[in-house]
DNA sequence: TGTACATCAGTGAACGCGCGTTCACTGATGTAC
DNA sequence: TGTACATCAGTGAACGCGCGTTCACTGATGTAC
């Protein structure tokens, strides 16, 4: 096989190796932020982990901040891929909640370092990273609200109320994520799944009784 | 007035001044973590802010970690005081949700730096601080669950379901706290309050319809 | 009240360390002819 | 195919800096008699 004919997976050796080093830097940073927080992580630590000299870092990123932003992007790219798949899978009306929660929690467990990074840096010391994570989450909530708008029974719901509802659900899933990450790496997450599932079912139970109106108070409480 | 007779507010001058410096260190640290995260905050920065020499720090704390743990304690002490007051104020059945949310959000705004610190360090780089914050939140959820257990209508609820319910509510309040802290310091929080209030009302709306049973699935969905 | 001594919060010099960043470099890979 | 030159990922020495921590100290406050 001639060295110059490039097939699918085969990049120019030079460019390919550079790409590999770049990815190695990203992977090393992700591995290392399991302990330190991101802004306590030094450029030298990352290059040491990869096995290159500190100055070589600048061949790939302008700064640690730039690397961090790429990590945020990587994290959400994989998450978005999953959510898209979940959405396309249509709604099997029953078991929807159970399946969704199980899928999501399984995904968190399989991508632990990414979620650890996102949860931590959501409040972290680097402003640009923080705000990028938050805007991704906000986008997420909006997309879920749009999905709900298409449900039968959502006719009377105001936009704000749809956002309120999906905000509540995303909040519950974020809580579940926190709890999964608190568990030891390979632990059984059944308790977390069961609780999160109940929370979603409880929320859904309320929706038929909600009167979405500009701002009139409800007198619905039954007990 | 003789210097040696000690009245209420009057400590021995020596001890009083030491206490003042200690508090100044805590205040300075709290002020400074608005920018950096706590584990990016140096001992020297804190002492510089107070106006003492770095080595004097050790007259008051063994390490920055110890200072951080005291900050966690201070934060929750003030929060607990508020919650106790709210609990003692009995329940005026109507407007309870509205008043609770308004009180809580107002409290967050009035103690912004403490909550900023708690939210950030909940996922921060210092393990002992992280776990102390989490255990305080867990305690909080449990106490709320105990309160719910005393409500009429909570007879049929299992312990797990009460915890699930209060977990959902605390989660919603944590989301609201995040949103308040995202606003500029003196901004109007009415939108956040209104959304959080709706979320709590939605949750409460569901409770009469919830059948708390070991693990039998629900067939309650009405739409 | 006056004197001699003890306490201890804060001082200031000094240390060794890891940091981010600069710079001129090396040598393997890639390209032109 | 062979040669001469260009590219550029990674090197390694060097820099100035802020860090946490040590140590012996100072001098005002407090205490014993």
Mean pLDDT of A207-221: 67
Alpha carbon of A97: minimum distance to chain B alpha carbons (Å): 11
What token pair was written down for B222?
A: 């009405």
What token pair was written down for B193?
A: 């309050």
Mean pLDDT of B131-154: 94
- Structure confidence at residue A11 (pLDDT): 61
Alpha carbon of A109: minimum distance to chain B alpha carbons (Å): 17
pLDDT, one tens digit per residue, over A190-208 is 999 999 999 999 999 999 9
Rg of chain A in Å (alpha carbons): 22
- Structure confidence at residue A83 (pLDDT): 86
Q: DSSP E strands: which ranges in chain B?
A: none
What token pair was written down for B85?
A: 């007051």
**B218 has a pLDDT exceeding 60:** no
pLDDT, one tens digit per residue, over A68-114 is 999 999 999 989 988 888 877 766 666 889 999 999 999 999 999 99
Half-sphere exposure of A25 (CA within 13 A, CB side): 28
Which whole-number Å values give the CA distances from B138 to A85, A109, A152, B131, in the listed order? Answer: 34, 22, 37, 10
Residue with the bigger pLDDT between A181 and A212: it is A181
Percentage above 90 pLDDT, chain A: 76
Percentage above 70 pLDDT, chain A: 87
**B217 has a pLDDT exceeding 80:** no
- Find the Å distance, CA of residue B51 to C1' of nucleotide D25: 20
Burial (CB count <10 Å: 0-12, 13-18, 19+), residue B59: exposed
A47 CA: nearest nucleotide by C1': D10
A74, A114 Cβ separation under 8 angstroms: yes
**A134 has a pLDDT exceeding 90:** yes
Half-sphere exposure of B156 (CA within 13 A, CB side): 10
Other Cβ atoms within 10 Å of B90 Cβ, number: 8
Q: How far apart are CA A169 and CA A204, in angstroms?
A: 10
Residue with the bigger pLDDT between B158 and A153: it is B158
Sign of the torsion angle spanned by Cα atoms A45, A51, A54, A58: negative
Which chain A residue is nearest to residue B122, measuring alpha carbons? A120
B56 CA: nearest nucleotide by C1': C10
**B133 has a pLDDT exceeding 90:** yes
Rg of chain B in Å (alpha carbons): 22
Instruction: Return the closest-CA partner of residue B112 out of B30, B25, B39, B194.
Output: B30
Mean pLDDT of A172-191: 97
Sign of the torsion angle spanned by Cα atoms B127, B132, B133, B139: positive
Most confident of A10-19, B86-95, B209-218: A10-19
Q: Residue at minimal CA–C1' distance from C30?
A: A14
- Structure confidence at residue A148 (pLDDT): 93
pLDDT, one tens digit per residue, over B50-108 is 999 999 999 999 999 999 999 999 999 989 988 888 877 766 666 889 999 999 999 99
Q: How far apart are CA A100 and CA A142, in angstroms?
A: 18
**B10 has a pLDDT exceeding 60:** no
Count of A-B CB contacts under 8 Å: 124
Percentage above 70 pLDDT, chain B: 87
Protein contacts on strand C: list nucleotides below 7 Å from a Cβ.
Answer: 8-14, 18-24, 29-30
The DSSP symbol for B48 reads H
Instruction: Return the closest-CA partner of residue A29 out of A54, A8, A50, A12.
Output: A50
- Structure confidence at residue A216 (pLDDT): 47
Burial (CB count <10 Å: 0-12, 13-18, 19+), residue B43: middle
**A5 has a pLDDT exceeding 70:** no
């Amino acid at each position: 096989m001639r060295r110059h004919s490039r097939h699918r997976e085969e990049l120019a050796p030079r460019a390919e190796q550079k790409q590999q080093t770049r990815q190695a830097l990203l992977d090393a940073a992700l591995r290392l932020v399991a302990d330190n927080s991101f802004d306590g992580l030094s450029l030298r630590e990352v290059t040491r982990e990869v096995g290159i000299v500190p100055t070589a870092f600048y061949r790939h990123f302008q700064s640690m901040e730039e690397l961090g932003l790429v990590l945020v992007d990587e994290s959400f790219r994989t998450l978005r891929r999953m959510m898209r798949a979940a959405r396309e899978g249509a709604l099997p009306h029953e078991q929807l909640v159970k399946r969704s929660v199980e899928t999501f929690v399984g995904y968190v467990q399989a991508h632990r370092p990414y979620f650890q990074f996102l949860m931590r840096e959501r409040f972290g010391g680097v402003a640009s990273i923080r705000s990028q994570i938050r805007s991704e989450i906000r986008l997420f909530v909006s997309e879920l609200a749009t999905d709900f708008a298409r449900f039968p029974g959502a006719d009377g719901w105001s936009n704000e109320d749809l956002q309120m509802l999906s905000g509540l659900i995303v909040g519950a899933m974020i809580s579940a994520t926190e709890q999964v990450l608190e568990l030891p790496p390979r632990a059984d997450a059944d308790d977390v799944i069961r609780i999160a599932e109940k929370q979603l079912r409880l929320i859904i139970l309320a929706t038929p009784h909600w009167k979405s109106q500009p701002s009139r108070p409800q007198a619905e409480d039954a007990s």
